[in-house]
Structure 1
C-alpha cells in the first residue's frame, strides 16, 4: 500500500513522534474482521456456538460481538443470527445506547450494521427509523434489517432535510454516521485511498454540517446526538464537534470506553473535546473511527400531524387501507402464527405491512418508504402468502418442520424438495434456526424464498 503523499505530509505534522507507528499500521497492519450475534433470535448463543463459533475472541466495542469471519452464504448469516461488521464501527451504536421504548433515528444508515445493533438494544420496543439517501443502498439496508428480525423499524429513502417535516422534535436519540473522507478505511478499502484528495476533508465537512443541521431539528430537548466518522481528519471530527457546540445548544458527554483513545483537544476550539473517542490503527483493535456524544439543551417543537385541506398524493402510489375481506385473510393466517405485537396495517399494491406500535400512517404518508414496518405478506386472488420478513421474527412456538443441510441448500437456491407431511404453511427450521416459510403439500415443500436473495451453495 502506498499512502498519498499529501496524506503523509499532513499526518507527519499532526502526529509528530506517533506518525511512524501510524503509517506502519496503515501500510503493513492487517484488517480485522468481526461479527455480532443477534439477541432477537431464539437460542441465538446456542445456535452460533453449534455452528463452530464458540471459541472466537471477544470483540472489544460491543455486546455479543466477536473477532472472526462469517460467510455471507452461511445458514447463520442467511437466517439473521449474525452480522459481519468492522469491529471499531460497533462502538458507535454502543455509545448511542438506545433503550427499549425510545424513538431513534439512524440518519445515514446503509448498509445497516449500526441499525441492526440499535434494533438489538431496543428489543422490539420503541421505534427505529433508518434512513439512506441513495435508493440502491437503501434497499440493501432494508434487506439487512429484514434478516435481523425486528418488528419496530422503518426504512426511508430521503435527503436528511426532507425528513424534518415529518419528524421535527421527534427523536430521543439520533445517530449521524456521516459520509466522510474515509481515511480510517485505507487498509480495508483501496478505493477510499485512491479517491482521497487534499481537499477531501474540506468538502466532506461542508456536507456533514448540512446533515447535522437537519438532524438537530429532529432531536428532542435533552435528546442524544451521536456523531461519528471513519476518518482521522480533525476537520471532520474535533472541528465539526467544535462547530456544533459553538452554534447549537449542545454539551459534550463523556465517552469513557476501554480500548479507545481520547479526542484531541488541540485539534478543536471548545472545551471537553477529550470526552470524545478515537480509534487508531496503531493503538487499538479495528480501523480508524471518531465518535462524539452530545446532549441537546434546546427545545424543538414536536411535529403535530394535521389533515391538509388539499388531498396529498401518496408517494407509494397505492391503496393504503385493507378491505374487510383482506383483513380477514391476514387474521386467519395469524391465528396459527401469532405476532404478539399490534400495529396499524397498510397495503401497498398486493403487499401488506404492519406499522410499528404507536405509529400511524398519517404520520409518515408523505415519506418515501422502502420498508414501512414489518412486511406481513402478499394478498393474491383471495389468499394470503406470508413474507420472508415474517419468518425472520419466528418464535419457537410457530408451526415448524426440521430440514437437513441438503434441504437448506435447495431452499436458498429457490428449489422445491421432498419432506413427508401435508401441514400447509410452516416455518422451515434448519438446526433449530428459522430460515423461511415453506408450504408443505403432499410431501413436497413449495419454495417461497425471495428471488432476489437466492444463491447456489
Structure 2
C-alpha cells in the first residue's frame, strides 16, 4: 500500500469539484493509495502476439488483456530473481514495460479508418513508450518524427528506439512550439502527450504531488495551449491529432482543447472516443474526451482527446537559417553496391521504402517519407546508421542487425544463455566449438540481439554502450 501518498487538501478540493457524480471521493483516494498493477506492451516489430503469449506461458507469466490496447497486458511475474526489465525478452525488445493508461493515446490515434499514416509527429517523445508503440502501428513504414525538448532524455529515447528495432524514426531536440512554423501542414497525424503537473501519477510516485500548486497548474496549461496550437499548424488538413496528459485538472485538459477550438473555430472537430473500447463510455466527457480517474479502470489518472483538422490555417512565419545539410543521397550505383555487400556478408536485404545517405564515411538509411522535411528542418538523428565505409568495404553497425534482420539469416550465431548474459554485459564471447570470419548476426534463440565480429573462435562484442547492462540478467 502507498498509504503515505501525499495529496494536498487544495488538490482534493479541486478533484471533489470536478469528480463525476457517479464516482466517489473515497474511492478516488483509495485508488491513489493503491500501487499500480504492472503492465507491458508486446512489440510487434519483433514478435507476433501469439508467439509472445506462448513464450509468456512457458515462463509462468500471468497476463490480463488491457481493454484499449490489443498488444497491452497487465502482468504478474515472479521478479524475485530477475526484474522484468532484465529478462531476455525485454532486453531483446520483445516487449516494453508501459503503464496501461499510457497505451491509450496511441490506440486513439490509430482508431480511425484512414490510419495508414505516412507521416506522424510525436511531439514530446521520451522515454519512448508511445514512440515505439506508434512505430509498431506504422509497421516501421513512413516516417515518425520523435521530438524531445530535454536533451538528456533524447539519449534514453534513442536507446529504447534502438532496442525495439525502430527504423522509421527521425529524432529532434526542440521546444515543441517550433513545429507549427517550421513544418506547417506536414503530418497526417500528431500525438502531443503534453508535459503536465502529473496529478494522475501518484500511484507510482507517492511524492508526485509534493510541489503541486494551483498556480503551477495554470502556468503549465499556458505552455500546453502553445504546444497544441503548434501541433495543429503542423497537422495536414484532414489530419488527426491526439492530445493527452497524465493529469486530471480541467485547466490542463478540457480547457486546452477548448482553447484550440476557440482559436481556430470550425477548423477543429472533437471526435468522440466513447467507443474506443468496451467500457470507454464510463470515462467519456460530453465533448467525447476520455477523462480517466484512477478508480475507473484501476490505472493511472489520464486524459485523452482526439481532434481533427478540417481545413487550412495560416501558419506562423519563421526565418530559417539551416546551414548546410551534412548528408548526401547515395547514387543508385552506390546504393546497389551497398545492398549487394550487405546481402553477401549478412544475408540482410535493404527495405524498399528507405534510401541510403552518406556523410563522410558513415552510411545511413533514411525513410523515403522523410525527404520532404530534410530541406525544412534539422534533426538530431535520422533513420539508422548501417555502416562505416573503409578501404576493404563496409563495417556494419548494430542497428543493421536489430532493425533489419529477421532472425533467419544464414550468417548468424545463436548464443547459449550464459554467453548471452556475457554479451549484454558488453563482453566478447566464445561460442562452443564454433569459429568464423567477419561480421555475424548474434542471436539468443531466434531473437536478434546484435552484431559481432569473428576473431578466430571469439565473437567480438558490438553492443552500443547505452545498451550494456552490468548485473542480474535473465
Alignment of 1:2-401 (within 5 A): 2-15=6-19, 18-27=24-33, 29-42=34-47, 45-47=50-52, 49-50=54-55, 52=59, 55-68=62-75, 71-97=84-110, 99-248=115-264, 249-255=267-273, 256=275, 257-260=277-280, 272-273=286-287, 275-300=288-313, 312-314=322-324, 318=326, 320=328, 328=337, 331-335=340-344, 336-348=347-359, 350-360=361-371, 363-365=373-375, 367-380=377-390, 382-393=392-403, 394-398=405-409, 399-401=411-413
1:184-240 deviation per Cα after TM superposition (whole angstroms, max 9, x unaligned): 001212342112112122011100011011111111111111111111101111111
Residue 447 (structure 2) pairs with residue 440 (structure 1): no
Deviates more, 1:101-110 or 1:176-185: 101-110
In 1, are the aligned partners of 2:6 and 2:209 still within 8 Å (CA)? no
Q: Distance in 2 between matches of 1:319 and 1:220?
A: 27
Q: CA separation in 1, counterparts of 2:416 and 2:441? A: 14
Conserved 8 A contact 2:191-2:241: yes
Preserved contact between residue 238 and residue 263 of structure 1 (Cα < 8 Å): no
Bigger mean CA offset, 17-26 vs 324-333: 324-333
Give the conservation status (yes or no) of the 8 Å contact 2:363–2:389. Answer: yes
The answer as to whether partners of 2:283 and 2:292 remain within 8 angstroms in 1 is no
Cα deviations across residues 100-156 of structure 1 (Å, max 9, x unaligned)?
Answer: 343111111111111111111111222211111111112211211122213322111
- Contact residue 152 and residue 357 of structure 1 kept, 8 A: no
Q: Which residue is 1:268 aligned to?
A: none
Q: Is the 8 A contact 1:180 1:236 kept in 2?
A: yes
- Alignment deviations for residues 371-408 of structure 1 (CA, whole Å, 9 cap, x no partner): 20122133355542222222212113322211111110
Q: 2:419 & 2:162 partners in 1: Cα distance?
A: 22
Residues 343-352 or 194-203, more deviating: 343-352
Residues 72 and 290 of structure 1: CA distance in aligned 2, closer, same or farther (over 3 Å): same
Query: What is the count of residue pairs matched by the alignment?
Result: 441
Q: Confirm or deny: 8 A CA contact 1:115 1:130 kept in the other structure.
A: yes
Q: 3-state DSSP class of the match of 1:72?
A: helix
Structure 2: unaligned runs, 5 residues or longer: 78-82
Counterpart selection for 2:415 from 403, 422, 434:
403
Is this contact kept in 2: 1:169–1:301, CA < 8 A?
A: no
